[in-house]
Amino acid sequence: MQIYNIHDAKTNLSRLIEETVSGGEPFVIAKAGKPLVKVVRIEAGIEKPPRRIGFLKGQIKVPADFDTMGGDEIADQFEGKAQ
């Protein structure tokens, strides 16, 4: 791993980053010979996978009377006929 002092890193930062991005190894920026920062490439593919709409298709059955299920009971509750 290469070590660059702050002045050299500042002068050549664009080139150093481009080399790291294109498959080069990470590098270290040092001040007075002491390592301060390690510059590494961020790997692609860290983001969340996209949401899959319809991934349960064919695995769930909705009854044909789904829209009217319990309609009489609900109407009774609204009319005060609840038991």
Enumerate the H helices of the chain as residue ranges: 6-11, 13-21, 71-78
pLDDT tens readout for residues 40-68:
888 766 677 788 888 888 898 888 999 88
Tabulate helix, strand, coil % of the chain (nearest 5): 30, 20, 50
Residue 36: per-residue pLDDT: 94
What are the domain boundaries of the chain?
2-39
Report CA 2 to chain centroid distance, whole Å: 31
Give this prediction's pTM. Answer: 0.50
May I ask the CATH class of domain 2-39? alpha beta
